[in-house]
Amino acid sequence: PQTIFRKDYLPPSYLVDTVELGFDLDPARTIVANRVTLRHNPLSKSRDIVLHGEELELVQLRMNGKPLQAGQYELNGNTLTIRKAPLAVVLEIETLTAPAKNTTLSGLYVSNGNFFTQCEAEGFRRITYFPDRPDVMAKYTVMLRADKALYPVLLSNGNLVEQGELDDGRHYAKWEDPFKKPSYLFALVAARLVCQEERYTLQSGREVLLQVWVEEGNLDKTDYAMQSLKNSIRWDEERFGLELDLDRFMIVAVGDFNMGAMENKGLNIFNTKFVLANPRVATDVDYAGIEAVVGHEYFHNWTGNRVTCRDWFQLSLKEGLTVFRDQEFSADMIGTDSGRAVTRIDQVRTLRQAQFPEDAGPMAHPVRPDSFVEINNFYTVTIYEKGAEVVRMYQTLVGRDGFRKGMDLYFARHDGQAVECDDFRAAMADANGRDLSQFERWYSQAGTPVVRAETRYDAAAKTFDITLRQHCAASADQQQLPFHIPVAVGLLGADGRDLPLKTDAQDRQGHATVVLELRREEQTFRFHDIAERPTPSILRDFSAPVVLEYDYSDAELLHLFSHDSDPVNRWEAGQRLAMARLLKLTAAVAAGAPLTLDDTFIAAQRALLVDDSLDPAFRELALILPSETIIAERMAVVEPQAIHTARQFMRRTLAAALKPELLAQYHANQTPGAYSPDALSAGKRALKNLALAYLLIAPREAELALARRQFAEAGNMTDRAAALVALIHSGSDAGAHLHSFYQDFEQEALVVDKWFAMQAAAPGTDVAAVRQLMEHPAFTLKNPNRARSLIFNFTNGNPSQFHAADGSAYEFWAEHVIKLDALNPQVAARLARSMDRWRRYTPALQAHMQRALERVAAHARLSNDVLEVVSKALA
Ligand code: HT7
Ligand code: ZN
């Protein structure tokens, strides 16, 4: 396969002004007529028109009214080239596609009998021949024709300008999008659907129509998505002064979808998982996901659609920025400082669980990659979540007002353009009069920087020095230069209060937190008038995506865990205390030594658990131990069984020691009355259900009865699912409960996904049990949500079973990467990533993993998607 390099970028030879698309929709044979007006791009020396096309049957091609014969154009693989074209060209292209046969879910496809499209990143070329690249922006008019009884709803981008009847039971709808857009934002839906709709008044007084389209039986599950959409519209007006630019905004839910959702202009298409919710079927986590994803796609309307990417190497320009915006939206929706901190802690957990490992593995890439084989493999946690951290650092450096100024300048300069990450950085720098040239390295250098801190207190001079030293492992092709790192610092006195800070810098004197700007490899920062040796709280609010090393004593960590005014670092202190013990326990398991847990740690956990002055959501997060994956990342040689045993020992010991307190919290955090997904209620349920999970680690009849009652009487899915998971994990026979859960919800696809997922991730589920679950009539590889629920939750969420000593689960992995690849390469490539960190395991496991990887790599007819992942893993 061919590698594409960022340095090879050339502007398009022809620009497109208008696109008129006509669709005669038929599952077996859809005719697409495309009339496109092009003009030569003065920035290009080439006069060749280059069109992309994949899996298309070309029926007719006309240029400026005349048919082009075979010799007048070149059809080479997936490109169609017309050489030495005139300066102004009208192309008329007729193609055929077979949407019902399209299992890739890219381009035009059929899901449950309805038509949908997915064009990002390169799906439009599976619909028609086109210069399918984001820097070609055009105005679209779309005519849809389809059988009226089967597809009563015909939607596309923009405004509905005409509709009517045709002969033989067909009808049509014509849509016009007033905005220029890249082809990846094109969408159509032809379906039997119903909608919840509402007229909504913008702050300017303009009225818009909002619609959420779903299958008929799901109309009782659209309220939260609609509410989230209205909240998103209001938030973007208030926080960034950005108004919805269309008269109509539609969300459509589809059950077969490769990712979470897609921001097509005015016609967002969503995975049902991020639309459908009512208390019976959706958990608190699902509700939060819907709010975040509805917000995310809506915010793309400005950051992504109005200003888009010049090329796919700039993907994080829109994704990192839009994730940052949805994170801020979710935090603002909670509205309290502790709620904001809880969302921030969740973000840090995701980074450590997924992004740091990616940055240290074979698929590591900078936020702005330099090359790729398959762009679909680069919708990664690095592009999205690390990209959001990079955007967040601008705000940390220039402040909220400065960030807003930067955003305003970015839109003033680039509205309607396709631009680069550097343009965003320049807007932030220019709007704030800051030199952000060194900051560019966050875009160009892969890897997680390590910041090592050392401190020195001078009692006589009353100064406290913090020396920060940064380094980042060089990658194969890159020597790393120092990053520009904002390090937020506070100092705690012996009474646990923040000391007022006085640094050599002039601004922010007397504040509890200062942002130190680390630019060189090593820098020392001095604090004055420090009357006692303080406990440093470094990297507050996780001010940069780095690993912080500091030799904290247990006493210092306990002090921070009890008092730090920065909730993120308070949580972090608890994680450090737990991690140190987990690493020792893991080593003890491996050595066959006895396992013990100290009373100091148990007492700290107890104090936090019962501290009612703290938000329940925060307490829940603070009591969750570092995951097996995060522990594995800290080990030189990973032994998954030893990690699992050590972590289970710690959980069991805590459960036994804290039983009365856990029981008390279980009862104190009930949420009687009607279900509400608000943050306080969700936090209480989270803490209550964490207590239940602990109580069921070594349950007696009383605890089992508690879980059984909760399962039977729960008024919402959060509590019902939590009780079921606790019962499954307790080792007691949960078969009857699993059976009744399935019976109650077999008509609810998203709940059936949960049913598979909770079994896949249970420590008692081995690969044989997974194979057996695959025989269940509800299982199919063709639906990505279903495949993910069982297979991915096993390979990624059940490490001790996935890494079974005999390598049998790796064989299962290889078999299913290959099977999935024949259906859906994007999903297969994601599964292939489960093996990224194979070189870090014990030699015996490595040997099994290598064999499985080689088996996949050797398979004939592998997609580029999977080939890229496995060859980088094996390289
Ligand atoms: N921008 C959207 C990306 C997306 C996607 C990419 C590749 C294949 C399928 C896809 N579905 C959606 C999602 C987002 O970030 O909002
Ligand atoms: Zn996005």
For the chain, the domains span 1-192, 308-444, 450-544, 748-875
Among 157, 146, 144, residue whose Cα is nearest residue 186: 157
Residue-by-residue DSSP string for 496-539: SPBPPB-BSSSTTTTBS-EEEEE-SSEEEEEE----SPPEEEES
User: Alpha helix (H) ranges present in 697-783?
Assistant: 701-713, 717-729, 735-745, 749-760, 767-774
> What is the whole-number distance in angstroms between the Cα of residue 109 and the centre of ligand 1?
16
Q: 794 φ, ψ to 5°?
A: -80, -50
pLDDT in tens, 32-76: 999 999 999 999 999 999 999 999 999 999 999 999 998 999 999
d(CA 818, CA 835): 14
Average pLDDT, the chain: 98
Minimum-distance ligand 1 atom for the alpha carbon of 263: 16
d(CA 670, CA 668): 6
Amino acid letter, 78: N
Residue owning the nearest CA to atom 12 of ligand 1: 262
Task: Answer for the pair 634, 583: CB distance below 8 angstroms, yes or no.
Answer: yes
Q: What is the pLDDT of residue 475?
A: 73
From the CA of 109, which ligand is nearest?
1
Residue 563, helix vs strand vs coil:
helix
d(CA 462, CA 468): 20
Q: Which residues pair with 253 in a beta bridge?
A: 270
Task: Answer for the pair 458, 406: CB distance below 8 angstroms, yes or no.
Answer: no
Q: What is the pLDDT of residue 506?
A: 61
Q: Does position 163 have pLDDT exceeding 70, yes or no?
A: yes
854-872 exposure pattern, b = at least 16 Cβ within 10 A, e = fewer: ebbbebeebbbbbbbbbbb
Strand order of the β-sheet with 514-518 is: 514-518, 485-492, 535-538
- CB of 118 shorter than 6 A to ligand 1: yes
Asked if this assembly's ipTM is beyond 0.95, the reply is yes
d(CA 512, CA 490): 6
Task: Answer for the pair 170, 184: CB distance below 8 angstroms, yes or no.
Answer: no
3-state SS track over 226-243: HHHHHHHHHHHHHHHCCC
Q: Give the pairing of strands 248-254 and 207-214.
A: parallel
d(CA 839, CA 481): 26
Q: Does position 626 have pLDDT exceeding 80, yes or no?
A: yes
Task: Answer for the pair 327, 391: CB distance below 8 angstroms, yes or no.
Answer: no
Residue 370, helix vs strand vs coil:
coil
From the CA of 105, which ligand is nearest?
1
User: For the domain bounded by 1-192, which CATH number is listed?
Assistant: 2.60.40.1730
Among 390, 451, 452, residue whose Cα is nearest residue 421: 390
d(CA 214, CA 222): 8
Q: Does position 843 have pLDDT exceeding 70, yes or no?
A: yes
d(CA 62, CA 69): 9
Q: What is the pLDDT of residue 363?
A: 98
E-state strands within 617-702: none
Residue owning the nearest CA to atom 6 of ligand 1: 120
Minimum-distance ligand 1 atom for the alpha carbon of 323: 15
Q: 447: left (phi > 0), else alpha (psi -120 to 50), else beta? A: left
Q: Does position 757 have pLDDT exceeding 70, yes or no?
A: yes
Q: What is the pLDDT of residue 510?
A: 85
Among 776, 775, 779, 871, residue whose Cα is nearest residue 829: 871
Q: 253 φ, ψ to 5°?
A: -100, 135
* pLDDT band for position 870 (cuts 50, 70, 90): very high
d(CA 752, CA 764): 20
Residue 729, helix vs strand vs coil:
helix
d(CA 618, CA 1): 48
CA distances for 226 relative to 237, 294, 681, angstroms: 17, 9, 21
> What is the whole-number distance in angstroms between the Cα of residue 480 and the centre of ligand 1?
30
> What is the whole-number distance in angstroms between the Cα of residue 188 and the centre of ligand 1?
16
Residue 552, helix vs strand vs coil:
coil
pLDDT in tens, 235-263: 999 999 999 999 999 999 999 999 999 99
Amino acid letter, 826: Q
- CB of 569 shorter than 6 A to ligand 1: no
What value, to the nearest 5°, has the Cα angle with vertex 360 and ends 356 and 365? Answer: 90
The residues placing their C-beta within 5 Å of ligand 2, an ion, are: 319, 322
Q: What is the pLDDT of residue 507?
A: 63
d(CA 667, CA 537): 34
Domain 308-444 homologous superfamily, CATH: Neutral Protease Domain 2 (1.10.390.10)
Q: Is the dihedral angle over the CA atoms 335, 338, 341, 343 positive or is it negative?
A: negative
Q: Does position 113 have pLDDT exceeding 90, yes or no?
A: yes
> What is the whole-number distance in angstroms between the Cα of residue 250 and the centre of ligand 1?
17
d(CA 662, CA 218): 38
d(CA 268, CA 322): 15
- CB of 559 shorter than 6 A to ligand 1: no
Before 705, cis peptide (omega within 30)?
Answer: no
CB atoms within 10 A of CB 249: 22
The two most distant CA atoms of the chain are separated, in Å, by 94
pLDDT in tens, 488-543: 999 999 999 999 999 987 666 789 999 999 999 999 999 999 999 999 999 999 99
> What is the whole-number distance in angstroms between the Cα of residue 54 and the centre of ligand 2?
24
Question: Which H helix or E strand runs over 452?
Answer: strand 450-458
Q: Does position 325 have pLDDT exceeding 80, yes or no?
A: yes
Q: Which fold has domain 450-544?
A: Immunoglobulin-like (2.60.40)
The catalytic residue positions are 297
Residue-by-residue DSSP string for 170-219: EEEEEEE--S-EEGGG--EEEE--EEEEEEEE-TTS-EEEEEEEE-GGGG
Percent of the chain with pLDDT over 90: 98
Q: Which residues pair with 146 in a beta bridge?
A: 171
User: What does the DSSP 8-state code read for residue 475?
Assistant: B
User: Alpha helix (H) ranges present in 248-362?
Assistant: 284-300, 315-334, 337-350, 356-359
Average pLDDT over residues 591-606: 98
Q: Which two tokens stand for residue 541?
A: 């609010």
Task: Answer for the pair 304, 179: CB distance below 8 angstroms, yes or no.
Answer: no
d(CA 610, CA 614): 9
Q: What is the pLDDT of residue 661?
A: 98
Q: Which residues pair with 145 in a beta bridge?
A: 24, 172
- CB of 303 shorter than 6 A to ligand 1: no
Task: Answer for the pair 375, 121: CB distance below 8 angstroms, yes or no.
Answer: yes
- CB of 829 shorter than 6 A to ligand 1: no
User: For the domain bounded by 748-875, which CATH number is listed?
Assistant: 1.25.50.10
d(CA 166, CA 146): 9
Q: 824 φ, ψ to 5°?
A: -150, 90
- CB of 316 shorter than 6 A to ligand 1: no
Residue-by-residue DSSP string for 88-103: EEEEEEEEEE-GGG--
pLDDT in tens, 690-712: 999 999 999 999 999 999 999 99
Minimum-distance ligand 1 atom for the alpha carbon of 105: 9
Q: Does position 718 have pLDDT exceeding 80, yes or no?
A: yes
HSE-up (13 A, CA, CB side) for residue 118: 23
Q: Give the pairing of strands 114-118 and 66-67.
A: unpaired
d(CA 354, CA 382): 9
Same fold for the domain at 1-192 and the one at 748-875? no
User: What does the DSSP 8-state code read for residue 309?
Assistant: E
> What is the whole-number distance in angstroms between the Cα of residue 625 and the centre of ligand 2?
30
Among 381, 386, 36, 108, residue whose Cα is nearest residue 256: 108
262, 294, 322: residue to mutate for ligand 1 pocket, most atoms within 8 A of CB:
262
pLDDT in tens, 117-137: 999 999 999 999 999 999 999
Residue 159, helix vs strand vs coil:
strand
Tell me the angle at which helices 767-774 and 808-823 cross, rounded to the nearest 10 degrees: 30
Q: What is the pLDDT of residue 508?
A: 63
Q: First vs last Cα of the chain: how many Å apart?
A: 15
Residue owning the nearest CA to atom 14 of ligand 1: 262
Q: Is the dihedral angle over the CA atoms 623, 625, 630, 633 positive or is it negative?
A: positive
pLDDT in tens, 679-689: 999 999 999 99
Rg (CA), the chain: 28
